[in-house]
Amino acid sequence: MSKLNQSVCALMVCAVAWCPLSAQANGFEDFEDAELIDQIAGSVARGYGRMHGYQVEFKLIGKEVAHQSPLLVQYNAPLKRCTFYISTQDRNWHSFEQYLLFFEGLPKQVVYEAFFAHESGHCVQVKEQIDFGPKQRRHREELYADVFALSHVQRYFPKYRKAFQEGQLKMRRVALGVQRDYDFYKELVKLHYSPSLQTALVVKNPQDRAFSIAKAVDLL
């Protein structure tokens, strides 16, 4: 896992948050969901930190820094710390709102929580020393985080699980035009309907669930 410990993990979607630990103006004061995202950033991210035994911190990335994604995470193994790097570029908010369209009809809280659960999944994977090996490592890490987000919805918002799953597939289908190296959509379809994933989604113990999800991804 040494190659993963200091690496910045990739995103399922463009997600953003208002850093709850800073009084610094972030440029999003007029965004109607800022307060909701602020609460979710703390509750979801720290919730998984408590479950898996690591700390969580948030850091703002200023507008002067060139940065494509609104939110990235990095896990520091020696410190057992998951850091969320939050971009404050206004254009990221606009792109983020476009991603919400894939989940039209779902409550925003469900979608926002799933986005932060996806990012938390990257840290959980490294913390629990789940390594998918050198072949398509990055691809499998993204699939793992996708399914980790789905497990969050299954656990906390079960009645929205099917609708979220459909939105997730729509989003990954569109991504084929951008990320041609991997067919996330095709493999997500396999995962969504695999018996091993159905079993993993209902596992109660956090550590056992994390490894059960990894097993489902590994069986592809």
Which residue did the predictor score with more confidence, 193 or 80?
80
Give the bridge partners for 76, in sequence order. 81
Task: Check pLDDT > 80 for residue 150.
Answer: yes
- Distance, in Å, from the CA atom of 102 to the CA atom of 81, rounded to the nearest integer, reads 31
pLDDT band of 66, cuts 50, 70, 90: low
pLDDT band of 209, cuts 50, 70, 90: very high
Task: Check pLDDT > 60 for residue 97.
Answer: yes
For residue 100, what pLDDT is reported? 83
SS3 of the chain: the string is CHHHHCCEECCCCCCCCCCCCCCCCCCCCCCCCHHHHHHHHHHHHHHHHHHHCCEEEEEEECCCCCCCCCEEEEEECCCCEEEEEEECCHHHHHHHHHHHHHHCCCCHHHHHHHHHHHHHHHHHHHHCCCCCCCCCHHHHHHHHHHHHHHHHHHHHCHHHHHHHHHHHHHHHHHHCCCCCCCCHHHHHHHHHCCHHHHHHHCCCCHHHHHHHHHHHHHCC
Q: What percent of the chain has pLDDT over 70?
A: 73
Q: How many CB atoms lie within 10 A of CB 33?
A: 18
Query: Beta strands of 44-153 (E only): which ranges?
Result: 55-61, 71-76, 81-87
| Distances 169 to 78, 89, 196 between C-alpha atoms, Å | 36, 27, 19
pLDDT in tens, 104-134: 999 989 998 998 999 999 999 999 999 998 8
Task: Check pLDDT > 50 for residue 8.
Answer: no
pTM of the model: 0.81
- Distance, in Å, from the CA atom of 85 to the CA atom of 194, rounded to the nearest integer, reads 33
Mean pLDDT score of the chain, rounded to an integer? 79
For residue 93, what pLDDT is reported? 61
pLDDT in tens, 169-200: 988 887 654 455 567 788 898 898 899 999 99
For residue 90, what pLDDT is reported? 62
Reading the block at residue 67, the tokens are 């940065």
Which residue did the predictor score with more confidence, 153 or 1?
153
Reading the block at residue 203, the tokens are 């596992």
The enclosing H or E element of 1 equals none
Longest dimension (CA), the chain: 47
Which residue did the predictor score with more confidence, 130 or 18?
130
